[in-house]
Amino acid sequence: MRHTVALHTKETHMSTTPFEIRLELLKMSKDLLEHDYFAQKELAITDWQSRAGAAMTNGQELPAKPELPLMPSEEAIIEKATKLKAFVDGK
């Protein structure tokens, strides 16, 4: 005789609080803005290095150092989070 055992799992659904949603939106906004910052910084540095290398090869003066972007401010992060929340809310 063969015995089978049925396993029942109980799913627990935890709702996310408004605080947790805002926190996640802030984290997401910070990550997005920092990603853009580092991409812009890398592009500026790479471009300068390329121009500097060409100048050195040709015996020319080095180009001016590039202006690097600023790190995202707290205000920029909050503004981005507000836009994301409006999108999520369908506004």
pLDDT digits (tens, 9 = 90+) for 25-80: 999 999 999 999 999 999 999 999 999 999 999 999 999 999 999 999 999 999 99
**Confidence class of residue 88 from pLDDT cuts 50, 70 and 90?**
confident
Look at the chain and count its residues.
91
Number of C-alpha atoms within 13 angstroms, CB side, residue 12?
Answer: 2
**Helix, strand, or coil (residue 52):** helix
Task: Write the CA distances from 59 to 13, 29, 52, 53, 64, integer angstroms.
Answer: 68, 45, 10, 10, 15
Contact 87, 28 (CB under 8 A): no
pLDDT band at 11 (very low <50, low <70, confident <90, very high): low
| pTM higher than 0.85 | no
Pick the more confident residue, 14 or 54: 54
